[in-house]
Chain A
Amino acid sequence: MNKGLKDSTREADYRSSGKGKLEKGEKMKFPYSQKVLEHFKNPHNVGKIENPDGKGLEGSPACGDMVAVYIKVNPDTRVIEDVKFESYGCASNIATASIITDLALGKTLDEAKKITWKQAAEELGGLPPIKAHCSVLAVEGLRAAIKDYEEKHGLITEKEPTTEEVVKKRLKHVMNPLTGLDIIRTNLILKTSVEDGVVRVVVDLPANHQFAPAIKEDIAEKLGSLWDVERVDVVFTA
């Protein structure tokens, strides 16, 4: 007896009944809001701008997500006239990049800089906390693009010397992939010091940990670009 075939027919009935398909207005089974899903399905401002005025590329090698943000800026008014993004990331990452570029379009650089992850999350009707690190990347991407523009156009006048405070602030952008929160908040950093252009960071993880190389790379990348930093030493506890 070919039981498999008989049950396949039953399955076909189940399928054609429309069960399991998302109807309009039906409550989502996902942890994402309707708005997140809309932006995920049909993201706004997708693509690349050729010869952008500013470009930001943010990625977390540990998590793997990556986002690129491109801006066109009016040189007189400093208004963002065009903004596009590319994402190699999960749903939260794509949806946040979509909403953040919506929010930035038509704003001045100073206004756009102030757009926060919290604002983006609110606009999206909430994001799962565990996915925060994926979506924060989009906000950082926009800020990086603005900074890129400012650096290219000599808009950064004051060069702040790198202190432990600056280091800590930067490390807040490095995610602890074990928790999805940053490495400062999750107490993964035991000690930091800055001396003669050398930054030393002690990470509370064994060197052979699955994420150690990725975290090391991430830390080096975040601190290495500081103007007065010559070397970054990342030290593991075991």
Chain B
Amino acid sequence: MIYLDNAASTRLDEQVLEAMKPYFFDTYAVATSEFGYSMGIDAKEALERSRESIALKLDANSEEVIFTSGSTESSNTALKGVAWAFKEKKGKHIIVSKIEDFPVLNTAKALEREGFSATFLDVDAEGFVDLEGLRNAITKETVLVSIQQGNQEIGTVQDLKAISEICEEKDVLLHTDATHSFTRLPLSMKELPVDLITMSAHTIHGPRGVGALYIRKDTPITKFMDGGFQEFNLRAGVEDIPSAVGFAKAVELVTEEENGRLKAMRDRVIDKALSGIPDVTLNGSREKRLPQNANLTFHYVEGESVTLHMDMRGFAVSTGSACFSRSLEASHVIRGIGGDHERAHGSVRFTFGRYNRMEDADAAIEAMSEIVARLREISPLARK
């Protein structure tokens, strides 16, 4: 199986597993205070070292990073935490982009049901948030803006610098979902006034079920789950130290050389599809896009048929077609960029990871070329 769905999840790196193992079998105690027993102190040190590695990657301080169970929890904590902390003090309005992934999108909707108001910002045909629209949407009541760094489906990378400047000028907190961009793109807290960042290990060959949330010092946030006082009293529950160690290791293993390799495979697929297969549209931006993501619409064919044919040939890819999704709804991202059902219907996403080689990109596009030609043979829409 040639796995090209690395945005969904990735294969664990053996080095990550090796780094985690001691914390299952040797240093398995909970993290104790410095007055605890030595195994607990060792565990605590491992946890803090991991926190430091992640903070370092962001040019942030360790006390600004908490571990969570993944992106979903991180974004829930960020949005609900800030909204609840502010509702009596400032206002009850939040702003998110229309093409956010579900943790942000559906948390915004949940807050709406709770009496907050939410603005779902439009994006342009390539998926970029309208900066003027953002500026105009911010009111005195606005407590938080949440705009992702890189899009999960079409790979578009937002101009976070411009967005953060607007938020700073308007004195509104900014959260960004960096699930698909953390370590793949620069993200330095020395340069960007972002207040909260969602991160996940599973997109970078780390373990599933662990993520992190960066919370800039002094950001007002209300605890989301009740329980113990772990993670600076912001995230209750026994710390998952093996996962934290695994996440830190995964972060350490991503190199610029690797990001360059992913980008080369991405470009190979995009260039070959656009030049070698007729009636193909690139979804998202050509220039400002995640290094691991290619997303193309192959017109006149349906995505589930494509993915099934690809699977029978040993490739794992994904599609925004309604027929493929559990909800039978066409991709809200493709629809958000102004695409109709037809555009979502034939969209195919290829996402690369550490274990892909250039041959995989070549083989995938070769298979796509044949499959698309065959399906167009039988399509009533295709020009023949």
Contacts and interface: CB of A to CB of B under 8 A. Distances in A.
Q: Which of A41, A64, A68, A177: most chain B Cβ within 10 A?
A: A64
B308 A177 contact: no
A194 interface: no
Interface stretch (B105-113, B222-230, B372-380): B372-380
Contact of B380 (A11, A68, A134): A68
Given A8-B355, A20-B1, A30-B308, A210 B253 contact: no
A67 B314 contact: no
A15 B363 CA distance: 13
Interface residues of B, number: 42
Interface of A: 3-4, 7-8, 11, 14-15, 19-22, 30, 37, 40-41, 43, 46-48, 57, 61-68, 85-91, 93-94, 130-131, 134, 177-180, 210, 214
Best-buried of B1, B14, B321, B378 by chain A (most CB within 10 Å):
B378
A27 B341 CA distance: 33
- Tell me whether chain A's interface is mostly helix, strand or loop, or mixed: mixed
A47 B323 CA distance: 23
A177 B378 contact: no
Contacts of A47: 378
B93 interface: no
Contacts of A63: 322-323, 328, 341
A40 B371 CA distance: 12
Given A11-B355, A20-B1, A177-B322, A64 B14 contact: no
B380 A88 contact: yes
Interface of B: 1-2, 13-15, 253, 258, 261, 300-305, 308-309, 311-312, 314, 321-324, 327-330, 332, 335, 341-342, 344-345, 354-357, 377-381
Contact of B379 (A61, A64, A88, A131): A88
Contacts of B314: 15, 20-21
Contacts of B301: 88
A7 B355 contact: yes
A90 B381 CA distance: 14
A48 B344 CA distance: 26
Contact of A4 (B258, B327, B330): B258
Contacts of B312: 22, 37, 41
Contacts of A11: 355
A64 B354 contact: no
A180 B328 contact: yes
B328 A64 contact: no
Nearest to B355: A11
A47 B2 CA distance: 32
7 contacts: A8-B356, A37-B312, A46-B378, A64-B302, A66-B381, A90-B321, A177-B322
Contacts of A90: 302-305, 308, 321, 323-324
What are the 4 A-B residue pairs with the smallest beta carbon separation, nearest first? A20-B1, A86-B380, A90-B323, A90-B304
B111 to A, nearest CB: 19
Contacts, number: 105
A40 B378 contact: no
Given A20-B1, A46-B377, A90-B321, A4 B305 contact: no
- Counting chain A CB atoms within 10 Å of each CB, which of B327, B341, B342 scores highest? B341
Given A62-B341, A90-B304, A210-B335, A57 B380 contact: yes
B345 A87 contact: no
A88 B381 contact: yes
A7 B335 CA distance: 38
B1 A19 contact: yes
A65 B302 contact: yes
Given A7-B13, A214-B341, 16 more contacts: A3-B13, A4-B355, A7-B355, A21-B314, A41-B312, A46-B377, A47-B378, A63-B323, A64-B302, A64-B344, A66-B380, A85-B378, A89-B323, A90-B304, A90-B324, A210-B332
B357 A8 contact: yes
Contacts of A30: 308, 311
A7 B10 CA distance: 13
Contacts of B303: 90
A48 B342 CA distance: 22
Contacts of A57: 380
Contact of A88 (B302, B309, B327): B302
Nearest to A43: B378
Contacts of A179: 328
Contacts of B323: 63-65, 89-90, 131, 134
A85 B335 CA distance: 29
Contacts of A7: 13-14, 354-355
B330 A64 contact: yes
Contacts of A65: 302, 323
B304 to A, nearest CB: 4
Contacts of B13: 3, 7
B308, B323, B354 pick with most chain A CB within 10 angstroms:
B323
Nearest to A8: B357
A67 B380 contact: yes
B80 to A, nearest CB: 25
A130 B345 CA distance: 17
Contacts of B14: 7
Chain A CB within 10 Å — which of B2, B261, B308 has the most?
B308
Contacts of A134: 323
Contacts of B342: 64
Contact of A3 (B253, B377, B380): B253
B355 A130 contact: no
A61 B340 CA distance: 10
Nearest to B327: A178
A64 B335 CA distance: 13
A91 B329 CA distance: 17
